[in-house]
């Protein structure tokens, strides 16, 4: 067990990857300058919400996702952020995208002790999905 915390909704203990997923969710839903002591903490995604989805805006989201995780979450090493197609597991459907709901898949290596300066990778490449569902951001392990 390299890291632990509490589930923000149930109060139950969270360990390792589950704790990292919750941390990434917190990071991505925090506006820049929202935290007084960490003015630059946040994903920057909230600042561009509400705009019409275009290929350029989707690229901006992908860049902000990767940059925020790389900057603030040392337990993950992002390899790629992409928009999964409707034919892939956890993919985007045309109806969902039309409604402004889009999912991003993030491929990353898990470094359980990265926050302690040990960047040894555990296991192989992991895929997790960042999605907005029911007005809430979720970060979950992608189905195999």
- Could you report the per-residue pLDDT of 39-91, keeping only the tens digit for each? 888 888 777 777 777 888 889 989 999 999 999 999 999 999 998 877 776 67
Give the pLDDT confidence score for residue 133 in this predicted structure.
Answer: 63
Q: What is the CA radius of gyration of the chain?
A: 15
The residue extents of the domains of the chain are: 4-141
Match 């360990």 to its residue by tokens: 15
pTM equals: 0.83
At the top level of CATH, the class of 4-141 is alpha beta
Q: What is the DSSP string of 48-88?
A: GTTSPP-HHHHHHHHHHHHHHHHHH-TTEEEEEEE---TTS
């Amino acid at each position: 067990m390299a890291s632990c915390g509490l589930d923000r909704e149930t109060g139950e203990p969270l360990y390792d990857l589950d704790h990292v997923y919750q941390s990434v969710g917190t990071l991505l839903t925090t506006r820049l300058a929202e935290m007084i002591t960490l003015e630059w903490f946040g994903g920057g995604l909230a600042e561009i919400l509400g705009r019409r989805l275009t290929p350029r805006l989707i690229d901006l989201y992908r860049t902000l996702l990767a940059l925020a995780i790389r900057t603030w979450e040392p337990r993950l090493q992002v390899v790629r952020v992409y928009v999964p197609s409707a034919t892939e597991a956890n993919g985007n459907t045309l109806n969902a995208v039309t409604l402004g709901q889009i999912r991003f898949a993030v491929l990353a290596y898990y470094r359980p002790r990265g926050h302690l300066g040990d960047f040894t990778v555990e296991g192989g490449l992991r895929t997790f999905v960042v999605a907005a569902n029911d007005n809430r951001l979720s970060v979950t392990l992608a189905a195999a």
